[in-house]
Amino acid sequence: MSKGTVVITGAANGIGQFYAKRLAADGFDIAVADVAEADATRAVVEAEGRKFFSAVVDVTSPDSTLRFAAAVEAALPPVVALVNNAGIYPWKSFEDTDFATWKKVLSVNVDGPFLMTKAFLPGMRARKYGRIVNVASTTFWLNAPQMTAYIASKGGVIGFTRALASEIGGDGVTANVIAPGLTNTATMRGVNQDIYEYLPKQQAIPRVIEPEDLVGVVSFLCSKDSGFVTGQTIATDGGQVRL
C-alpha cells in the first residue's frame, strides 16, 4: 500500500535521484519535476515497486509549477511531502557575478521552493498533513569564496523555511531544511576536485560525503516520525559545521 506521493524537484539525476530511490523504498510513490527527462529515476523508483510520474518543469514559473501540481494530483495518490532539491551553483566571484546571474540563482534556488510550496501546500493543508523539506548548504556557515549568489540564496531558503513553519504548523504540515556539505556527485566533483582532497579532513567523520549519507535525513523529515520537528535546519556534513 502506498504511503502517498512525495514530490522531488531536480531528481532526474544526482542527489535528487538518491532521495527518490530511498523514499520509494520507504513506500512512497514519486513525482519528479526537473528540466531534464527523468527516465533513469523512473527505473530506480519502479524497481522498488512504486508508481512514478515526471514532467519537465520550470520551477521559476508560476504557471509551470501549477500545471505540474494538477498533473501529479491526477496521476498519483495525494501528495504528503515535497522535497525542494533543485538548485544551481555557479562558482563566480562577486566581481564576476552580473545581475542576470544573480537573478537566475535567486530565482531557481529561492523562487523555486516558494512556487512549488504555493502549488502543493493547499492540498496538504486541506488534508491536515504534510512535510516540506527544503535543501540548503553548509556553505552558509563556512568561509566559501566565489559563491556569493549561491550562499545568499541558501540563506533565503533557511529564512523562508523558518518563517513558513510558523504559519503552517497548526495545519499538520511541517517545514524543515537539510543542509548537506560538499557531496560526491559527478557534477560537483568535476569542478571541485581539489576541494575533495582537503575538506573531509575538517570533518568529525573524515571522509567524502556520499549521496547515501544524506538520504536517511530526508527520509526522516518526510516521515510521520518527524511530526514534532519543524522550522529546523539539519546540517548533514560529517560534523564540520556545528549548529
- Domain boundary assignment for the chain: 5-236
Question: What does the buried/exposed string (b/e) look like for 151-172 if buried means 16 or more CB atoms within 10 Å of the residue's CB?
Answer: bbbbbbbbebbbebbeebeeee
The predicted pLDDT at position 186 comes to: 75
Chain mean position to CA 80:
15
Phi, psi at 177, each rounded to 5°: -125, 135
> Cα(first)–Cα(last) distance of the chain, in Å?
38
> Does 26 have pLDDT greater than 90?
yes
Question: Cell numbers 535546519 label which residue?
Answer: 233
Looking at domain 5-236, which CATH architecture does it have? 3-Layer(aba) Sandwich (3.40)
User: Phi and psi of 107, rounded to 5°?
Assistant: -65, -50
What predicted TM-score, i.e. pTM, was given to this entire model?
A: 0.96
Among all residues, which ones are annotated catalytic? 150
The pLDDT tens digits for 2-13 are 999 999 999 999
Per-residue pLDDT reduced to its tens digit, 155-182 = 999 999 999 999 999 999 999 999 999 9
Average confidence (pLDDT) over 76-87 = 98
The C-alpha atoms of residue 210 and residue 94 are separated, in whole angstroms, by 29
In sequence order, what are the beta bridge partners of 132? 82, 175
| Dist CA 149 CA 209 (whole Å) | 23
pLDDT category of residue 192 using cuts at 50, 70 and 90: low
- Please tell me the total number of residues recorded for the chain in this structure: 243
List of long-range contacts for 92-95, beta carbons under 8 Å, 24+ apart: 92/146, 92/148, 92/149, 93/145, 93/146, 93/148, 94/148
Res. 87 pLDDT band, cuts 50 70 90: very high
CA distance 174 to 159: 14
- Indicate the pLDDT class of residue 197, thresholds 50, 70 and 90: confident
Average pLDDT over residues 78-105: 96
